[in-house]
Structure 1
Amino acid sequence: MTRLSLVGVTLLTLLVAALGPAQADDPLSLDQLRADRKEAAQRERRIIFNNDGNEPIYLCRDTTPAELLRHRTAPLANTHVDTIFYCTWSSGFGMFTHDTKVGNVFKTKEGLFSKNLIEKMLAAGTDPLKVMADFGKQNEIEIFWSFRMNDTHDAGLSGYGPIMLRANPLKLEHPDWLIGTPKSRPKFGGWSAVDYTRPEIRDLAVSYVEEVCQNYDINGIELDFFRHPVFFKRAAQSGTPCTEEERALMTEMIRRMRKVTEVEGQRRKKPILLSVRVPDSVAYCRDSGLDIENWLGEELIDLMTVSGYFQLRPWEDSVELGKKYDIPVYPSLDESRVRDVGAKKSRMTVEAYRGRALSARSAGMAGLYLFNSFNPHAAIWKELGDPATLAKQDHDYFASIRGVGAAAGGALPHRDYQPLATLNPKAPLSLSPDKSVTVSFYNGVEYQKLNSVTPPQITLRLQFDKEAPENIRVALNEETLKASTSEAGWLEFPVQPGMLKLNENEVIVSLTDKDALVKWTDLQCRVRWNRDK
């Protein structure tokens, strides 16, 4: 090599050395960040596992990461769970189980919280959110921090309510930031909810998000507006819907949170997604203070989970909303809260979860989101993410899994926003000879198109409040059915696979006896591939 060549190489080396670190430290451009964020938002999420993060409070026996992970997380590796939304307590506002300097650590050991190890865990260097982030990277599972926007478990006047309230410095020091008092309760919502009219509350919420974005290598933030869906003092106390001014305050807060995720995303050179969990009705959200269409139109959020302890509308409505703004939507498949013991039990089976999964995916949902399902060894985590396999497994559909439903802690009354069927033994429908009653259930499979030698046995089962009536007419999608057997108030009707439509199926029931008065209490469509079951 000539001397001139050596000089050139040396100069080039010096130039690279000089420019390299500066380029490495340069933040990602905003355009590139947004492009990366769009791509990340569209990745496959077969199942999102929501973990309310109370293992350090109730379950952990020591302070090690392995102990934290063994209860609900480690067994999820190599399942259909692609994403974990991990809530570091958030019961109530400002209380956390990660190493926060902006909020407060929930470290009380009073009463049923006597086993709370979080203070010792943090002192030992075991930060639950960091442990989850590390687990996610090791197992290629997304980790979102889930932030409950207004948890009111501390509103109860007995049990753990007063203990949780005594542990919350923010609420004790600023009772005027709450929507009510124990003696002056609002018309809807838990009295201990914070009032988002207060700029201090909105500033703190943004700061909580910022602190997590700065300190933890997570993939995204979930803003859980379903725990619990009440946000403004005036509306809660008056019992009236929220105003445009109140919605504007919440939207401006979301804009600030989006800005935080972009600033920190540029710094770390990868996007931090923003997800929300909200009721599945645009109108109900608006009246609750959440202008979700505006959020979507301004591209303030990347994912959306809908529903909770009540479902208001068919899944297709939420899917269409997501398509309009090109974001993925997920159904929150919360556990059944119908009050009839037998009806609840039948809705909590593996077969029922399979049916729910099939219905949601056939409606166009991007994947599934499960809430309050904490057994990591359950079969559902290895099944629900594959609709093609589920279609050939036994499954059940119901007219309603959650019935009328209610938001824990109270919320704006939702019945006027709920055209969806709520049929269950605690919300029966009265039948009389002078009118027919129509109820829909949602099927997720075109069975006649499956490549199967033997078709499944499909049975439509209807339950009544007394011995199954004989003088009754039942039609499925306008095709009259004939009952085959009956027991304990149930009538069973064999159904040919081709009789079922994909998605909505109408069942019309009428009485032929002019003197009959009957209450229709439940509907189940049972699909069995093994005829012995």
Structure 2
Amino acid sequence: MAKPPDYGIIYNWDGAPHAYDAVPQTMDAFLERVYAPLEDTQVGALFWCVGEHHARWESALLEQLGDVHGHRYEDVYQYLIGENIRAMSERGEDPHAGIIERGRELGIAVYASVRMNDNHFGGKQPDELADAHDSELTRMRVEHPEWTLGDQTTAWYAASWDMSKPEVRAHRFAHVKEVCERYDWDGVELDWQRHAFHLPEDDAYRLRYTLTDLQRAIRQMTEAIGQQRGRPFYIAARVAGSLEMCRRIGYDVAAWIDEGLVDMLIPAGNAGTDPACEVAELKAMCVGTDVVVYPGFDSGVPGMTDGPEAGPMKLAMRNRGIASRHWWSGADAVYVFNWHGKRETHRELLNQIGSAETLQGTDKIFAATHRHLLSAGEWLGAYRRDRILGEAPGALKPTLSGDGPTATIEVGDDTAENRPSEVELRVRLSQWVKGDVVAVEWDGQRLSEGRSAHCKVADPYDISGVTSAVWLCFDLPAARVGQGRHEVKVILVERHPRMGVDLVLTDVELVVRY
């Protein structure tokens, strides 16, 4: 099969535009909602979520959204989606056909995005499904709780399908097959990361062949479609950001590449952006093949502390830094997920991150990766799949040899080619008081004493003269911040004797301004 086109940016829409207008939504209004954020940007492909568990078209195989509860909805959002789709169907209109036609007019490729094991059931357990009022439920899941993971995974995802069950794989294959054969897509995305809980936790690596079985069956089916149409029908697969987590979840990425079961690999987080996606490692595995690598973004970067910049500005700078790092690592293009918006919401970024050239001269933040975990509440366990080698946050402990934690900063910008006007290294310390002494090293060289500034996250109205967290800031000569990997070491020299809690390193950031 031919190598996939260079899309610059792939934009994944989760179907939310169905809920952006009152019932009945017109087709014109719907298509305007879908494409307004994409037009006149670097987006070359739309990956459209065709629905999680139901058909959003007339199907003899799959249930319709809301069927299980007689089209009585648990909230306004589900009502708007379900009834706007039903209204289109009753008018003889098909939103998927409309999306594909409009994409052709705009020169944007359109793929079906299929969530392979989506779980938005709010942590419900298999034995609770029969009494639950949830529009995402299907009769099959209610009637066959034994086909779910149950207590063989983290509790929040207990109602996810167990992909080792042949009945489940047959059902998922039939869903993907109907989607692919019914419409004139450019390809299909198998979104394995929504959500990344497919196999019994302790056996996932040994059962990885079952996921490969489904991936292989889908490839055989799409190849037949491509032959019938006389043009390629591509397969994209969204997988974990690290090869280690791919193995733990059950994604045999090496086999998928070697057997030609995938055309595009999208390393990405299960929950939030994974800024440390192993792009270079995946690219090395793809040498000698036509498989391309599109590292993914999500709506936010978990664990990133707000400030000193305003939240939206900081997130934009962080995203530009991540994109620059991905391009330096060898990415073929990039992918964005959950970037909901109107025409102007993300327009600046969508005209920057699609190439290394358009990122040049833009302000960025390159930062250490956070290991972000939840101990209670919603989505418990979701973040354990991501950023497994996160280097922050971490306690600064006294050591016998004067050592401390080391964080890696990967700078994607060629600062020799395009010299920044300002480079600032900053580290954030929580539970800091006057009298604490730390030393900071950049690439093995100790920095002179930096400036300190109180972090105002917990004091947004600037009432207090002190806070429990502080930023230590150091100006660096641009010549010391070349493209590539750098190490920042933070050493606890002296802890205030009255403090009985650890001093915690929460953030390590390199701010590059032009």
TM-score by length of 2: 0.83
1: distance between equivalents of 2:283 and 2:416? 25
- Please give the per-residue CA displacement for 1:65-114, whole angstroms capped at 9, x wherever unaligned: 22112224234112111111110221xxx324344432222143412123
User: Alignment partner for residue 333 of structure 1, among 281, 284, 297?
Assistant: 297
Relative to 1, partners in 2 of residues 1:250 and 1:511: Cα closer, same or farther, differing over 3 Å?
closer
Determine if the alignment matches structure 1 residue 459 to structure 2 residue 427: no
1:55 aligned counterpart, secondary structure: helix
| Deviation (angstroms), 1:398 | 1.7
Is the aligned partner of 1:174 residue 2:144?
Answer: yes
Distance 1:262 1:409, change over 3 A: farther
What secondary structure is seen at the aligned counterpart in 2 of 1:205? Answer: helix
Correspondence 1:317 to 2:285: no
SS in structure 1 of the partner of residue 413 of structure 2 = coil
Which of the pair is proportionally richer in helix?
1
Q: In structure 2, do the counterparts of structure 1 residues 315 and 171 end up closer, same or farther at CA, with 3 Å as the change threshold?
A: same
Match in the other structure for 1:95:
54
Structure 1 counterpart of 2:407, one-letter code: V
Superposition pairs of residues 217-228 of structure 1, within 5 angstroms: 217-228=184-195
The equivalent of 1:428 in structure 2 is 394
Deviations 1:462-492 (A, max 9, x none): 1111147663321211233224421111111
Q: Secondary structure at the match of 1:342?
A: coil
Structure 2 equivalent of residue 53 of structure 1: 15
Pick closer, same or farther for the CA change 1:354–1:514 going to 2, 3 Å: closer
Q: Note the alpha carbon deviations across 1:394-425, whole angstroms, 9 max, x for none.
A: 1112212674589947469548x82342x2xx
Distance 1:412 1:524 in 2: 22
Q: 1:479-490 maps to which residues of 2 (within 5 A)?
A: 479-488=445-454, 489-490=470-471
Does the 8 A contact of 2:243 with 2:278 survive in 1? no
**Does residue 1:355 correspond to 2:321, yes or no?**
yes
Q: 1:513 to 1:247 in 2, by over 3 A?
A: closer
1:419 matched to 2:389: yes
Show the 5 A alignment for 1:65-464.
Answer: 65-90=27-52, 94-107=53-66, 108-112=71-75, 113-116=78-81, 117-157=84-124, 162-164=132-134, 167-180=137-150, 186-187=153-154, 190-232=157-199, 235-236=200-201, 240-244=202-206, 246-308=207-269, 309=271, 311=274, 314-323=278-287, 325-336=289-300, 338=302, 342=306, 345=311, 349-375=315-341, 376-377=343-344, 378=346, 379-400=348-369, 403-404=372-373, 408=379, 410=381, 413-414=384-385, 418-421=388-391, 423=392, 427-432=393-398, 434=400, 435-450=403-418, 455-464=420-429
Structure 1 362/100 Cα, relative in aligned 2: closer, same or farther at 3 Å?
Answer: farther
SS of the counterpart of 2:416? helix
Structure 1 portions without partners, runs of 5+: 1-33
For residues 272-305 of structure 1, the C-alpha deviation after alignment (integer angstroms, 9 at most, x for no partner) is: 1011001123332233222121111100100000
Q: Report the equivalent of 1:528.
A: 513
Q: Distance in 2 between matches of 1:444 and 1:225?
A: 28
Quickly say closer, same or farther: Cα 1:74–1:125, change in 2 above 3 A. Answer: farther
Higher Cα radius of gyration: 1
SS in 2 for 1:79: coil
State the partner residue of 1:493.
474
For residue 458 of structure 1, report the CA deviation from its aligned partner. Answer: 0.6
Q: Is the 8 A contact 1:456 1:528 kept in 2?
A: yes
Q: Residue 519 of structure 1: CA displacement?
A: 2.0
CA distance in 2, matches of 1:507, 1:346: 26
Unaligned runs of 5+ in 2: 455-469
Counterpart amino acid of 2:446? T
Aligned mates of 1:243, 1:359 — CA distance in 2: 30
- Identity within the alignment, %: 24
Tell me the number of residue pairs that the alignment of Structure 1 and Structure 2 aligns: 471
The 8 Å contact of residues 268 and 277 in structure 2, kept in 1 or not, is answered as no
Amino acid of the residue matched to residue 335 of structure 2? Answer: Y
Deviations 1:185-232 (A, max 9, x none): 744561211122222221222222221222211111111111111113
Looking at structure 2, the residues matched to 409 and 294 of structure 1 have their Cα atoms a distance apart, in angstroms, of 31
- The structure-2 alpha-carbon separation of the partners of 1:447 and 1:187, relative to structure 1 and needing over 3 Å to count, comes to closer
Q: Which amino acid aligns with 1:381?
A: L
AA at the equivalent of 1:221: V
TM-score for the superposition, normalised by structure 1: 0.80
Q: Where do 1:10-29 residues align within 5 Å?
A: none
Return 431-440 or 117-126, whichever deviates more: 431-440
Q: Hey, what's the Cα distance between the residues in 2 that align with 1:84 and 1:339? A: 29
Code of the residue aligned with 1:443 in structure 2: it is V
Distance 1:419 1:187, change over 3 A: closer
In structure 2, the CA distance between the partners of 1:509 and 1:167, relative to structure 1 (3 Å rule), is: closer
**Relative to structure 1, is the Cα distance of residues 101 and 475 closer, same or farther in structure 2, using a 3 angstrom cutoff?**
same
